[in-house]
Structure 1
Amino acid sequence: MKTGIGATQDLAAGAATPQWVGTYAPIKNRGAVLEGLQSRLDKLATDKKGYFQAKAQCWVDAGQQALREHDQWGFVEEAIGQAATITIGLERGTALSAANPELRTVSTVRPDLWNIVNVIKADPAIANCPEAQQPLACAEVELIRAGHYAWTRNFQAAEKVLPGVQSTLQKSAQTALQCAQRKPAAPAVPQKITLRADSMFRFDRGDEAGMLPGGKTQLDTLVTGLQRTSNIEKLNISGYTDRLGSDAYNQKLSLQRAQTVQDYLRKHGVSLPMLAQGRGKANPVVQCEQKNRDELVQCMAPNRRVEIELVRGAALNTVVVE
């Protein structure tokens, strides 16, 4: 914030605008919110070394650090906002942006380090190198945290953060180089793939227009694997729901989702014989008895799924990929 005679208190000066207040003021009990986000991150089936999950984790860590320092400037709330946005995107399988938004309580520091960040992000090797993505994501968050210290005029604290940022960026760049030097291996094709419906389709949808980007990505990966495999005889595709709703509704939805997956694979070049079936609420993976409906729905998420069996001759093994 600007101080002194004639100082303005606007966005450029660091004042909390009505939009900022509307976004972050509803956040109460910041510690509990951060703990809740941590719990949700721990439950994610995505790669913890991947860019977005690592970034969400580092935002939670940054928020907790600021909370321990009794930060009342609004940075804790902004860290919660960033972590929540990424976590929700990962849970829903929606597309996420790797760009860093401008935050009210953060000044830009060390443009040279931000240039290094951009160079690493532009490296084609980084996309297939989660070991390099994790340090990159955390270096970005730490550089933003240093910018917050600078914004509060705590330049000594900002300087203490920067050596760690430099070291982490160096690790990311070196790891990306090592990944680039590896010979890419053909993706392994498992014998059975279990796709969570919550990450495949929007709520109550089973058509292709209702598919989520994350679900399409999983099917695209399967298509690539099948194109490099010659001993698959056919695919059995089975849709499942949880036990909520009528049997007729669950049967219809599970069949629609299985058929949509079959149609998607067919459109993308899979010519193998395929059988799509709706199983409704049959064969639940988990048993849940929660009284609270939201908790019950969350618990039964593994039951809402589409299973794709890859039949290889007379033998059929099972591998679950979520």
Structure 2
Amino acid sequence: MPRYARPRASARPPRSYWQSRHGHPLQCPGGRRLGRRARHGRRDPERTRLRTDLQLASLEAEFILGDAAVSLETATRTVRTAPGLALSADAVVVATGVRPRALPGQAGLAGVHVLRTWDDAVALRADLRVGAGVVVVGDGVLGAEIAATARTMGVDVTLVGPGLIPMAAQLGSRVTQLLADLHTEHGVRLRPGATVDGLTTTHRHAVHGVRLADGDMLPADVVVVAIGAVPVTEWLAGSGLVLDNGVVCDSTSRAAEGVYAVGDVVRWRHDTPRCPSWRARRTAAASSPSTAGAAGSPKSLPGTCPSKPACTARLSSARPNRTH
């Protein structure tokens, strides 16, 4: 059974980091910790960096930023970039991550947000003013935490999702009923079993509400869309790698000879439901020097889902030990 306790500094999980393909420094990808602290204004952007410029320079590594990879030749382990640069190596690690799923018609609509990067978190924080009406679309781990964080900032929050209980797909009904009760106790309105039909807008091209499939209309000054993510694998088409909702890997994160994948873009055989924070830990263990090339599955890894005010769920996550 998971333990529930108030968060402690010593219990904080490690953060995951990414290398931008658009010229930005190494940053946290806007996951749970970054999102919460950014919206509360307690995290300086510099503190989200993995290393300082001086530390990066001491690595004697070459960082090619703003130059997107467009193809991979698996046999020769050669990555080609948009301007035509060819990079060959003894090993290639795919860490292109995921992009947030969007609702139809949300592109360019003022007041509609996703949460993936630091810039996403800063933009969302700017809109979370006291008294605003916020609808969070998506009842998974990220949607549940966004709802909890917004509520602690004095915002009126409604959490909408297709499940009967938020986060049931990730944690099961027994645990999530307790967490749903905490949401309700803190003033978050739950709309379980609801499907979003579309967004309503003002004449200024700003969001005005969320229209549900049953005909109900939820007024909203701000809408946060947290309905999952799509692995960034388009550039790997024709590479010979197995692509199925991510890069399919064995238990050591190997996708092919000399080619590995880590982070959210990974899809293991007999994979569990996608949860980025847990996935990052599991790939870190699988691809570490102590486990790379070893037979069997990675060990159980501790995880947290800090999704409610003053409440942390501690659990252990492991893959079934299957070889077929």
Per the normalisation by structure 2, the TM-score is 0.23
User: Greater CA radius of gyration, 1 or 2?
Assistant: 1
Q: 1 or 2, which has the higher strand percentage?
A: 2
Q: 1 or 2, which has the higher helix percentage?
A: 1
Per the normalisation by structure 1, the TM-score is 0.23
